[in-house]
Amino acid sequence: MAFASNWDMRGAAWRWLAALFVVALLASACGGDDDTGDGVSPPATSAPSQDGEDAQDEGRSDSQDEQPVDQESRDADEVSPEPTAAPTLPDEEPPPSEPDEIYGGTLVFALESETTGGWNPITTSAATSGHIVLRQLYDPLVIEGVDGEAVPFLLESFSSNDDYTEWTFTLRPGITFHDGLPVNSAALIRHMEELGNATLSRLAIEEAEIQSFEAIDDLTVKVILGKTFVDFPLGFTSAGGFLASPAMHDLGTDSARNPIGTGPFMLEEWVEHEVTRLVRNPNYWRTDAEGRQLPYLDAIEFRPFEDDEARYNTLRAGDVDASVDNGGRRVQEYNEGFKTYWQGGQYTATTSVLMNTARPPFDNQEIRQALAQCTDRQTLNTVLWDGQPPATGPFSPGTPGYLEDSGFPDFDPDAGRAVFERLGAPSFEITTTITTLDLLQAELLVQMWGECGLDVSINQMLQTEAVTSAVFGNFSTFVAVNHSGYSLAMERFWWHSGYSYPLPVPAINFGRVADPRIDAALDEAITTDDEERQRELAEEVNRAFADGVYNIWLYHSRWLIAAQEHVNGIDNLTIPGGGEHPKIFLGRVFLAETWLDDR
């Protein structure tokens, strides 16, 4: 018997679903994979591979012959370096056999940014660094599997009817929130109601035509859709799936400083721009593969360092135990000096120059193409990412939709200059975030474009400010890190014209892309579970992006967690019931099974 009332979704459906997927997807909006709620982001390999075929393995390599080399060590006459492959290593770092050797200690972890919006996952604005913290405070209902599938996590199971219009979510029994309240269907319904109230829900239109949801029993919720949505559970893998206690939501705005989740750690102290200290949840529900209680650590201290150089130097000085990074300039230094945990080559986000097609000059396809022709992407990648071949589209090698040749314009500055001479050379800004790496990247682009006669200035700002500018369309060009390609259906919220609005109305489709070919492919993608057809649709999207030149694709970003020798088990994850997750996925890691050799 349903004991919670059905919710009439006709007035609230678009608000709830929009909130769910905006919270889940705005993660990769700018330089740090920004994930925005109300606040308008492998086992590791020892080095990133540029051929997309490396195994997602974890550990440290002792063989320097198999690691990429820095630019300084390349021959001066080498123009287009060959990609280097990473060695494969064991899937997990097994913990010591003696339990006393793994428990205790405080991990000090350097982040790339502060999450100023706080720790309510529905209302905050979180970059990748924010997601690292949130994954310790909360458990997602669903996580990504290694083969592109959704895997139940806090949920015990999910299922659908034959046409994917009715979904049933069942929670695992016996789990409590940090405040002792039970995890049950009432809490899940409250979570969905809160998603429906998120501010950014106004940015989207009614999508899945949700008719109702109801509690079937104490652990089961049924959601009825008005249309087919094959990848519906993947909307619950990120912040939209971080289940919080109803008591936390009762706190209103104070919930930002009082997170109450189910995760392995609880918030003890938060001093903005200094430290976020989490302590062990003594009642955590998960165990490791040997049945031992998690987490291993007593505490984690997260410290933000906005500048990538300062963050690296702090790690090198031994002042922190581990650090996150998303740049390719120090591949050799990281691999030689630390344990390195790299995201695998598949499903990596793509760094690109996003152009605002809703206003001049980039409402003109000729201008967009000319700018792409004036961008020496191989030189930029040689400086920034160890010579990685330029990205051909939004999908990395090994990801459905990847094309070795998508038809994207080649570097041809003479052709680009000819267009600007004929149509006029525009002046505009490039918006980026405030790190040494991002400034260098912007300076290289400005120099290249200047050689084509363009007057371009740089506008640096905090990640959250950059995302806000993108949402409201207050930019001309914007350096973005986005689009893992994990699910084509999920990308519709970035690329479909239904998520683009006339300026200055805020939009999730930052570039205001309106392309019939892209729309048609995205519309079909939510209706088919045929993997081959999904791949064909993704390839069509890739070609349409190349023809429209809505983005200038630069390189595929490989996230890294670098750690001191005494740190073990970064992103080890024992999934109840089995299954594997892609390690260091978009830089977001689980730390419940991390342990320290010395404490």
Q: Which residues neighbour 18 within 8 Å (Cβ) at sequence distance 6 or greater?
A: 200, 201, 202, 203, 204, 205, 207
Across 252-256, 323-327, 382-386, 420-424, least confident range:
382-386
CA distance 38 to 237: 18
Residue 360: asked if its preceding bond is cis (omega within 30°), the reply is: no
**Identical fold between 13-41+139-256 and 350-556:** no
Can you tell me whether residue 214 is helix, strand or coil?
A: strand
Which of residues 44 and 258 earns the better pLDDT score? 258
Work out the number of other CB atoms within 10 angstroms of the CB of residue 60: 16
What pLDDT does 182 receive?
98
HSE (CB half, 13 Å, CA atoms) of 106? Answer: 12
What DSSP letter does each residue of 33-67 carry, written as one string?
A: --EESS------BSS--SSS------S----GGGS
pTM of structure: 0.84
| Mean pLDDT in residue range 351-377 | 97
Q: What is the mean pLDDT of the chain?
A: 84
What pLDDT does 147 receive?
83
The fold of 350-556 is Dipeptide-binding Protein; domain 3 (3.10.105)
What pLDDT does 345 receive?
80
357, 401, 496, 531, 582 from 538: Cα distances, Å:
22, 4, 13, 11, 21
Residue 504: asked if its preceding bond is cis (omega within 30°), the reply is: yes
Burial 331-350, CB ≥16 within 10 A → b, else e:
bbebbeebbbbbbbbbbbbb
DSSP state of 182: B
CA distance 169 to 187: 13
Cβ-contact 353, 362 below 8 angstroms: no
CA distance 526 to 509: 18
Residue 466 has pLDDT above 50, yes or no: yes
- The owner of tokens 């995302």 is 467
| Mean pLDDT in residue range 2-9 | 32
Residue 165 has pLDDT above 70, yes or no: yes
Work out the number of other CB atoms within 10 angstroms of the CB of residue 255: 23
| Mean pLDDT in residue range 190-207 | 66
Tokens matching residue 501? 């609005």
Query: With respect to CATH, is domain 13-41+139-256 assigned 3.90.76.10?
Result: yes
- CA torsion sign for 246, 249, 251, 257 is positive
Work out the number of other CB atoms within 10 angstroms of the CB of residue 111: 23
What pLDDT does 285 receive?
98
Residues counted in the chain: 599
**Per-range mean pLDDT, top range of 166-175, 192-201, 230-239, 344-353:** 166-175
Tokens matching residue 549? 């030149």
Residue 45 has pLDDT above 70, yes or no: no
| Mean pLDDT in residue range 467-484 | 89
Report residue 403's pLDDT band, with 50, 70 and 90 as the boundaries. very high
Which of residues 146 and 217 earns the better pLDDT score? 217
What pLDDT does 91 receive?
60
Residue 582: asked if its preceding bond is cis (omega within 30°), the reply is: no
What pLDDT does 347 receive?
86
Cβ-contact 427, 449 below 8 angstroms: no
Across 34-43, 259-268, 288-297, least confident range:
34-43
Of 264, 293, 292, 294, the closest CA to residue 279 belongs to: 264
> In DSSP terms, which residues pair with 303 in a beta bridge?
110
Residue 29 has pLDDT above 60, yes or no: no
What pLDDT does 53 receive?
38
Cβ-contact 27, 238 below 8 angstroms: yes
| Mean pLDDT in residue range 19-40 | 44
What pLDDT does 24 receive?
43
What DSSP letter does each residue of 525-578 carry, written as one string?
A: HTT---HHHHHHHHHHHHHHHHHHT-EEEEEE---EEEE-TTEE-TT----TTS
> In DSSP terms, which residues pair with 366 in a beta bridge?
none
Query: What type of residue is 502?
Result: P
Report residue 578's pLDDT band, with 50, 70 and 90 as the boundaries. confident
The ranges assigned to domains in the chain are: 13-41+139-256, 350-556
Cβ-contact 189, 478 below 8 angstroms: no
Of 238, 211, 237, 212, the closest CA to residue 226 belongs to: 211
DSSP state of 204: S
| Mean pLDDT in residue range 218-242 | 91
Cβ-contact 49, 86 below 8 angstroms: yes
% the chain with pLDDT above 70: 83
Query: What type of residue is 404?
Result: E
Residue 40 has pLDDT above 90, yes or no: no
**Residue 340, H or E segment:** strand 339-342
H helix and E strand count, the chain = 14, 22
CA distance 399 to 344: 11
What pLDDT does 169 receive?
98
What pLDDT does 7 receive?
35
Span 47-76, pLDDT tens digits: 443 343 333 333 333 333 333 434 333 333
What pLDDT does 124 receive?
87
| Mean pLDDT in residue range 115-133 | 90
